[in-house]
Amino acid sequence: MSSAMVADLCVEPVVIGLQESILSTITDRDVHLALWDRTRPAALAWLDHLPWDEIDDIDQVVEKAAAPSAIAQALEDAGYPAGADGQALHSEIVDRAVFFARIMGCERLRWRLEVVETDACRKFHADMVTARLLMSLSGPTTQWIHAGAPDDIRAMRLGAVGLFKGRLLAEHPRILHRSPPIAGTEQTRLLLVINPALAADAQEAAGSAACFPSLMS
């Protein structure tokens, strides 16, 4: 192992803070997880009581400038309520998307709002993206570990926002994450996922052009 690699491994790859601004540290070379360690806003508590069988998953590529209107329409189409509750969810997602786009220097995003009832992504992994935002809005929360320490499993707080560096920026990811195993428990989780849209994402989610974060250069 080279001396440079040894030096890199001595740097703490996780940065945790109580303000949203902590998320900006994901652009630092040595940071593999930037975690805004907050609790879920009280205005979103109603999500725990949604009739999950009446809610559709959302997977959409949006331009940053069009995000507010596109997200509002997607939430309505998926069966989320209107009124104050729906507005609180809409505002939460738009705020996270716009801030993420600013951090990553990205004009096009792929966002997903998924109802998870199975052991989806149960293995610890890093995604094939530059960075990915994960926020659990209801139910069991995303788990993460330091690579090489599989028994030291941490769980994000409900409502906390994590930016995980992906394999397009970290050839050897030092932080891995997974969806907690919930099959057979009758538990349901609601997960928000945001990342820069790549060409393949645009095709899959009915988009067209690609978005490549400026920090890849």
For residues 45 and 138, give the distance between their C-alpha atoms in angstroms, rounded to a whole number: 8
Write the DSSP string, 145-167. Answer: EETT-TT--EEPPTT-EEEEE-T
Per-residue pLDDT tens digits for 15-29: 999 999 999 999 999
CATH class as words, domain 3-212: mainly beta
pTM of model > 0.85: yes
Domain positions in the chain: 3-212
Total Cβ atoms within 10 A of residue 185: 12
Per-residue pLDDT tens digits for 64-101: 999 999 999 999 999 999 999 999 999 999 999 999 99
Helices marked H in 43-158 — which ranges? 67-78, 83-104
